[in-house]
A = this chain, B = another copy of it.
Amino acid sequence: MSNPSIEPLVEYADASAEVRAVYDDIMATRKSDWVNNFWNVLAHDPANLKRTWEALKLVMGPGALDPLTKELIYIAVSATNGCEYCTYSHTASARAKGMTDAMLMETLAVAAKANETNRLANALRPPVDPQFLPKG
């Protein structure tokens, strides 16, 4: 069930030139021939669509970390936040970049374990060990 507040989805055929330019860049960057619904909804605010896509493309691109590692981090955060759509879309993105079943299961095991120990630390509040502090 989708949120009725912002509708309908902005399809390519009905999009303005400004929106189409973003859609074209999404498809070119991903080497695909379609644009997923997340962007079709955001397109109701073309400036926000453009800004969000360009920042995401930059952040998720290659750098000190490879793109697959970035997708795994994305999945871990989405699982933590309970974002259903993101779970579906980024699992698909990660698979397209080479994620195997074993990698997904391990990513989730780490994310889940971090959520467990985060709460123990948040409640027991051990003092930060001096060894973790800067030397200088």
Contacts and interface: CB of A to CB of B under 8 A. Distances in A.
Interface residues of A, number: 86
A72 B113 CA distance: 13
B82 A114 contact: no
Say what secondary structure dominates the interface of chain A: helix
A76 to B, nearest CB: 5
Contact of A125 (B34, B84, B95): B84
Given A81-B118, A118-B81, A123 B87 contact: yes
Contacts of A83: 82, 118, 121-122
The 4 closest A-B pairs by CB, nearest first: A4-B134, A37-B126, A79-B123, A116-B116
12 contacts: A36-B131, A37-B127, A38-B117, A38-B124, A48-B59, A70-B110, A72-B73, A74-B113, A84-B121, A85-B126, A88-B129, A112-B120
